[in-house]
Amino acid sequence: MPITINTLAQHISGEVLGNGEILVSDVASLETAGSDNVSYLDSRKQLRPALNSAAGAIITTAKLSEEFQRRGSTCVLILVDQPQQAFIEAMLHFRPQAPRNRCGVSEYAHIDESAVLGEGCDIYPNAWIGKNVRLGDRCEIGPGAVIADNVTIGDDCVIHANAVIYRDVEIHDRVIVHANAVIGADGFGYRFVNGAFVRIPHTGSVIVQNDVEVGACTTIDRGMIHSTVIGEGTKLDNQVMIAHNCQIGRHNAFASQVGLAGSCTTGDYVQMGGQVGVADHVNIGPGTKFGGKSGVIWDMPAGGTFHGIPAINEKDCIRNHFSIQKLPELRDQVKQLSEQLAELKAQLADSSQTDQSSQRSAA
C-alpha cells in the first residue's frame, strides 16, 4: 500500500530533504527504481548510479547528500546514520516477512520413541528423528531432513528440507541449516596399506555453536579424535567444505565454494571470498581477509588482507599482477636487446679481424 515519503521517514527515523508528500510503494535498487520506489546510497562508489536513478526517494547520509546535491540532483532524500539498515527496515515495511508456517508434529514424520522434543517444535512430513535425539524449544525440522541418533539441537533452530545431521552432532541455539547441507559425515581420511586405501575411523563429532548459519549443500566433516568446531556467529555460504578436525573461530564469514582441508584453525572474524582454498593444518590469525580464489598454503598472521595463489599481501599481489601484464612487452624488449647484442658481437668480431689483418700487413 503506497505511503508518503514523510510517513516512511518517520518509520525509519530519517529526515526528509525535498517533497515528502510523494507516494512510494516499494523498494528497488538504484538501477531499477522507478518514481514510486525507494532506494539507498551508502558509498561514494554508488554516486553515479544514484545520480542517474529514477527513484522517488533515496536513503543516504547527510555527508553523502551534500555531494549528491552539489552535483545537481533534485531527488528527494531521507537522511539517516546507517542507510543500509534503514533501507532494510523500509523493505520489511513494504514486504513483511510471512509468519512461520506452523505444522506441529506431522504424523508422517518418523520420530523414535526415545527422542525428546522441546515445546513448540514443527516436524514436517518425511523428516526422520533418530534414537536419543534431543530438540530444544521452537525448532523446525523440514521435510526429508534426517536427524540421526544421539544428536542434540538447541532452541530456535531451523533444519531445512533434506539436510542431514549425522550421529552425535551437537548444535547449539538459533542455528540455521539450509537445504541439503550435511553435518557430521566422516572425514576424508585413509591409510595406504599394501597398495590400497584403508579407511581411518572418525570417532569425533561436530559442534556448531550459537547463531551459526550453514548454507545449502555445505558439508562439515566430523573429527577423527576430537570434534570439528564451528564458532559462534559464523556464516557459511552455499557449497562450503569444512574438513575434519577444523576449528573455526567466532563470526567468520566464508563465501561460496570455500574449502578448508583437515585440521585448519581460524581466529575470530576471518573472512574468505568465493573459492578460497586452504591447505591442511594451516593456522589463520584473527581478522584476516582473503580475496576470491586465494590459495592459502601456510600459516597467515592476524589482521592482513591477502590475495593470489599462493596467497600473499594484497599490495604485493596487485604489484605482481601488473608486472605480469607487462611480461609481453618485457619479452619483446629482451628479444630486441638480444638481437642488438648479437649485432654488437658481430661488429666487434669484424673489427678484431680487421685489426689483426692490419697488424700482419704492417709487419
Q: Which residues participate in catalysis according to the annotation?
A: 244
Are 141 and 159 spatial neighbours (Cβ–Cβ below 8 Å)? yes
Q: Which residues does residue 264 pair with via DSSP β-bridges, in sequence order?
A: none
* Residue 171 grid cell: 548444535
- Structural Rg of the chain based on CA atoms: 31
- Residue pointed to by grid coordinates 563429532: 205
Nearest to 278 by CA among 256, 300, 302: 300
Listing DSSP states for 150-179 in one string gives T-EE-TT-EE-TT-EE-TT-EE-TT-EE-T
Contact (CB, 8 A) for 214 and 178: yes
Asked if 284 contacts 278 with a C-beta cutoff of 8 angstroms, the reply is yes
Task: List all residues 6 or more positions away from 206 whose beta carbon is below 8 Å from its beta carbon.
Answer: 166, 169, 170, 183, 184, 220, 221, 222, 223, 227, 228, 229, 230
User: What is the SS3 assignment for 230?
Assistant: strand
Going by C-alpha positions, the residue among 132, 245, 256 that lies closest to residue 186 is 245
**C-alpha closest to that of 145 among 186, 100, 109:** 109
C-alpha span between 276 and 2 (Å, rounded): 44
Backbone angles phi, psi at 328, to 5 degrees: -60, -40
Q: Residue 41 in contact with residue 83, Cβ under 8 Å?
A: yes
Specify the DSSP element, H or E, that contains 5: helix 5-11
